[in-house]
Structure 1
Amino acid sequence: MAKQADKSAVARQVELIIRRLGSLSTLPEVAVMYLGQLAGNGADAAALNEIIESDPALTARILALAHDKAVAFTDEAPSVSEAALKLPAAMIRDAVLSVKVFQAFDADFDPDSRRTLPRRELAMHALAVACCAQQIGEIALPARERRMAFSAGLLHDIGKIAIDQIMPKSFSRIVEQAKAQLSPIHAVEKKHLGLDHTIIGKRLAEKWSLPVEIAYAIWLHHTDAEIISENMPTAKMALVVQLADIIARQNHIGLSGSFDTPESTEAICRALSLPSEQVEMIRSGLEEAVGRRSQLLGLQQPGGQAAYCGLISETAARLAKEHTDLSISHTQKMVASAQMEFVGDFLPAVKGNEAAIDVACELVARWQKHYQTGPACVYVVEDPNEAFVEMATVDKTGRTDTVLVNVPSGTPAIGDVLQKEFVIVNAADHVGWVFEQTDFEMDLSVAKVLPLPACGKTSAVLIFEPRTPFDPARRPELFAAVASVAGSVIELTLTNLRHSRLAERFAELLGRLKTTRNELTEAKSLAGIAEMAAGAAHELNNPLSVISGRAQLLQNTETDADKKQMLKQIQLRTREISQVVVDLMSFARPAEPSAAEVGLRALIDQAVADTTKAHGLAAMEVEIAGIDESCEVYVDRGQIARAIANILSNSLDAYKAGSGPVRIDAACAQSEGAVTFRIIDFGCGMDGETIAKACRPFFSAKPAGRKRGMGLAHSLRLLQLNKGALSITSEVDKSTTVTVTLPKK
């Protein structure tokens, strides 16, 4: 329970940081290209627009700006090129210049190239997905959505850019772990942060009001294609981007940060009604299309950081006068807006897709300005059952911030006094616990607190330090209306957030439903095998015994050599049939495990010995590394030794010579209460279809004359009986890794 709360708090903290992210950062190489255009007297607008629509940070900034300025797009299909035509040139220039530059002033060396996932390679991957999505969209999407396919592909990984930008060290560790485990990066992000780049990207898309089709593609591009097709037909763009992502990874253009084997494109092509011939045509021309775009962005030019440092000083000098003029104009507008009423100032600042804490930030800043107060803060109770609240603050200098505050055990986040009616009371008497945990300074001897009610309940509270002789507690009715408006806006954003979270959980549950459905189908198949095996044993054992016995008697009395050999073959074949029935019964109805603590190394040594004997080898070529002699697991020794032996046998079968080498190590992530190790062979490997069927009874990729195909199926069965698990990753003609997890006591 504590771990879940910690993970929830980490996820919430990440979301707080993400909400403060004004824009993504671009690469120095890209900055050199667009600054070169802006600094020149005869700037080429078409070239600048093409640079903008080829870079994720610039594209997101311009689309967000177009929404803020209510640009009317053709067929309501937003595009960067149309936004650039309809927005004023000065506004485009200012927006582009406001975008931060990644590692801008490390001019003497290139730290990006030393990272496991260089930003330049991630940019190349985004370009590849964008170019590929554009071509797929021309075939598979309605005319309106085709214009957005390139931007959807370009922006699909903005969540990764955001994580790298706000917590680069954590992101580097996530990438390194994904590489070490050959895992998809979103799975490792979920484990470390409590949410992955798809959810973070969705949050940013909502914050910046990106088109809903693009937001769906960012959110759902790792979701199962069948689930999207069956349950979310409006999210077809996500399928297009998902297919483009797989093709880009298969073509090895750039790096995505995921190191697992890319999925097959078959299911997505089927969902999009896309013939394989057209996919191959798109694949063959992808590298050329990406090359042209990357050259336009300067991604193929070395020394981008040094060039940027040289250009920035010249550009700053050219823009200094215009920046001064803009600052003067902005100051004049701020002075004019000071005369507006509080509600008229507050409501236009609230965006329909903002989080409640963002609305709270807008509220405290305008409350301080309009009512001339000192420091002020608003805390929002999203869920009364949570042990923390989010709080927006504005200090005496007007600087806003957001923090997470723990609610003391046994203390309601919002007391009865503030819940029952609208009052203005002393903060020290009701919310003093808030300031015991933070560095936020407020004079509690004079501070007041009031509720922000809506729809008969209160989900937020405002605390402020009055700076006028008038005591607001004496005339609460003067503040009731604006408090109700503010509370209603916050409650509306909380409702929208709850709906969004429900949609995310629904999508996750749909994915689990498919897994559960598959497991149920397998369970029914096992039950059928059990019934068949029991019936076969009952019906065949007695006749087989009679046949075998009679053949033995006839063989003993027969003098003709040919007939005697045929009788011997009959006897051998009846024994083989009996063994098939025994194997089926052993698989379908194994004995209940008798668990006890046993050394993991002893189990592995026993399995190696059994496998060596079963294959008739003098010695098995095996390397065991990182398995602690003192490590113990809580399992049935015989069943787990047999399960490991079956896996080792399968590993040997991957080699033509059938003797190895096989590596057994513990170089993988460990979880509490369990031990995980890997069995790796470097034989023929398996494709995705074979991996999916590898643990099914009777399946074998070998031709006629093979074994019965029960080895891995039996291993999985025995591991599950002992509360263990098994997973397989493989690459054709390279290696196969079977990861085994066993419980501790």
Structure 2
Amino acid sequence: MQPKQDPSTARRIELILEQIEALPTLSSVAARLLRASSSSEVDFKEIVTLIESDPALTARLLALCRRAGSVTSEEISTVERAVVHLGFDAVRAAALSVHIYDLMAEPPGRELDKQEEGDARAFDRRAYWRRSIAVACAAEALAEEHRADSRVPLPTEAFACGMLHGVGLLALEYILPRSFARVIELAERTQRDIADVERAVIGLDHYTAGRRLAEHWGLPRVLHDVIWMHAMPFESLPDVAHRKTIGVVGVAVAMARRLHIGSACDFGPPSDPASLCRACGLDPDAPLRIERLLHERVAERARALGLDEPGSDQLLLESIAQANHHLARMRSSFAERERTAQRQTEVLGAIAAFHRASLATSDMPGVCAHIALSAARMLRADFIAIVRPSADSDRWETRSYRADAEPIATNLVDPPDDAADDLSEALAASECNGPVVSQLRWLCEAASPPNGADELRVIPLIIAPGRACALIHNGSGGEKHCSRTTLQPLVSVWSAALAGADVNEDAERLNEALADTNRNLVEAREKLVEIEALKRLAEFSAGAAHEMNNPLTVIYGRAQLLAERVASQRDMRSLEAIEQAATKLSDIMTSLRLFADPPRPSPAEADIGNILGRALRQASSRVTPDPARLHRPRVRLIVEQSLPKVRVDAEQIVLAVTEAIVNSLEADQTRIVEVRAHQDPADGRLIICVRDDGGGMSDHAVKHAFDPFFSEKKAGRKQGLGLARARRLVGLNGGDMAIRSVPGQGTTVLITLDPNADGGEHAAPERDDEDATDSIAA
């Protein structure tokens, strides 16, 4: 099944065939002479009558007799004597050849057009007819040598087939001169068979065009098939009666080409005439015998046809010159192929070196550096820049390097207002290793080239559909040293490496986002668990307080009544202990209720200095001096100037800071407690830092410091609700509280508050004289 043809190509072929059918037709005289040439029984009077009916043909025939020179022109003045002198076969072949020669002559003005266009590869009609005569003479000689074979055509029929075998070249050149000139140039440059180039450029080859022209002229069937199939291998020919005629013409074409007589634009690999003879059952030694006299035979027949061809000696010299030209062309082609192979070898080496070097890294900076080093070596460049679109914005990232891949700069640039809407699409459409186009000039200048953007070249790197990067360089050997076609495999490897790094970068971003999401989810789950626990604790506290209030009231009231009646000091102390225990239990229930279900904060603008001063005073009043300590801890208060006011519930924050200070003052081995307030320059948050130089806390204590009722101190010393309640109060005001501690190096409590946007003016903290002191005795 043949592949489906493109509609536009099919329409183009149809138009070409219509133009072929519009070419001039053969005259009735030439057509009747051609039909008579295929019959061995010829009526002499019919031939004479046909030629005399065409005055122009009569004049050309008499001129042929004069050029033949065997008798004087006065002796031959009639067509009848000319036919007798030249013979039937020569008259028929001459008449047909001369008629087609005149019919397909170059249109007036075509030669002038070629000279104006400077087309050095225009079709050489004289060389074509010289080749056609050579093929006709060779086919005629082959037929003469194989007369015993009934399947071999008559010499006159073989001559006519040889003369017309390449008429399709004339047809294409006649109707499409410029396209055909491009076909010749491309076929010669690539050393390809001209039929392949014709099909690629025009849409059909000269074999098909010649067959259609033969049908248009009404030529016999044998000529149809010779014109169409003479270049096919003999084994592939269909089983037709004139199959051997086609084979004879194929051998004749190979002989004429081997002798370099004329030209039919055949630049593909030549065929061996002896091998072709063996394939079609002819004597393989016949071509060598015929070729010895073929130059003389061609020159003689050309003179007889009046085509103004040179003598045999000059024809031989021209064949030798053409053979030398062919050899020079082959040497040039081989040299170019050798250079191309060397370039391809270098490109493959560059690909292997890049692959080995890039195995150790997959991150974007490393891959870009390896690409820059590979490009610097391949393109002979000392400045390389890789530009790519940013993944999270409309900006473009530029990474520039020196020849040794040492980074110069990495920048993020914004496209100008007049930049292309889709810069990736513009990059993908730009020429590979081409000069900088106007719409990409700003991007090249953003890479900071040392000598400006005029000397730069751009290589698009397609990393995904609709997503393109670019390699910018100032290499002087990129175009001369390595063609764009040769360079493309290395460019594809660079693009693939860049695409892989881009995918890895996207994966890292997704992993980071996933980790943040998981972290937030864990924190949210922990907060949810904490909220549920606090909710249950609040319910428990409310129920326990309700159930315990009455017994505690009774215990506390009866203890007071007994205290009025008891006179003994010992009993009095016992009653006081009962009262203290009842009061302590009531306070625990109150604190637990406050922790589990605290009051809603009432935020207002507050000065952080006043908050810390009040917290210091409350902490000092709550801490009882320990006689066992040699030194009492001292507190140092440091508040930065011009701190903004915060919008919080001041009473709750005072309680939270107080608990942190009390915890530091009661820590073992504490000598100095520093309370500092400052603003984080990164995000503007207010940070309260309570730091002591005590013995520190264990990892277990730090982990559970905010758990209710947790304490590493002696049993009965404290309730273990202070820090838990403090964190709860800070959280209610939109802040956070954290502990850092190292055993033997002290403990630090950090309270972070977000200043409200309506937090008012920046003011210096207002403190009482007592608060302004830098050291307070606890």
Give me the TM-score of the superposition, normalised by structure 1.
0.46
